[in-house]
Amino acid sequence: MASRLYNRYPREARLLHKPEFDRVYRNGRRRTSRQFIVFSIPNGLQRSRFGMSIGRALGGAVMRNRIRRRLREILRQHRQEISSGWDIILHPRGSVATAEFRALTEELLGLLRGALIHAPAPAAPSGASPATS
């Protein structure tokens, strides 16, 4: 049971509210690949947080939930490899639901590395917390 809790995708590692998403879309950087669009912005925190936007065009609820589960699993397995201090939104494209898991993992991690390496380093928050603005 303890190992299962350790491997969870914790709530504090997720973007949950519309203002958080809006801030990333409005001020963040956009990177694209064949299967993903990734928006990222420094958050001034000691951890990175992730959000997902999976549109109805990708399929019904069952398919969209499958996509969410696959992406959460990739993030959960590789969270130690992802730089701290970022808010990141993932937009999967159509082929994500049926793509081979290993190929999907490699593409997403490569895109995240590129998005975070080529972006300016996260700055310490000045004044109000960016998570609430």
Residue 61 within any structural domain of the chain? yes
Q: Phi and psi at residue 52, in whole multiples of 5°?
A: -130, 140
Cα distance between residue 49 and residue 34, in whole Å: 23
pLDDT attached to residue 1 = 46
Q: Please enumerate, as own/partner, the contacts of 58-65 that have beta carbons within 8 Å and a separation of 24 or more.
A: 58/92, 58/93, 58/94, 58/96, 58/97, 59/97, 63/97
According to DSSP, residue 132 is labeled: T
The model's confidence at residue 102, banded by pLDDT at 50, 70 and 90, is very high
Residue 84 within any structural domain of the chain? yes
Residue 3 within any structural domain of the chain? no
Beta strands in the chain (DSSP E): 29-32, 36-42, 49-52, 86-92
Instruction: Give pLDDT tens digits for 66-92.
Output: 999 999 999 989 888 888 899 999 999
Residue 126 within any structural domain of the chain? no
Residue 131 within any structural domain of the chain? no
Q: How many domains does the chain have?
A: 1
The model's confidence at residue 117, banded by pLDDT at 50, 70 and 90, is low
Mean pLDDT (the chain, rounded): 84
The model's confidence at residue 95, banded by pLDDT at 50, 70 and 90, is confident
Instruction: Give pLDDT tens digits for 9-41.
Output: 778 888 999 999 999 999 999 999 999 999 999
DSSP 113-127: HHHHHSSPPPPPP-S
pTM: 0.80
Write out the residue range of the structural domain in which residue 80 sits.
Answer: 10-117
Domain of 96, CATH number, reads 3.30.230.10
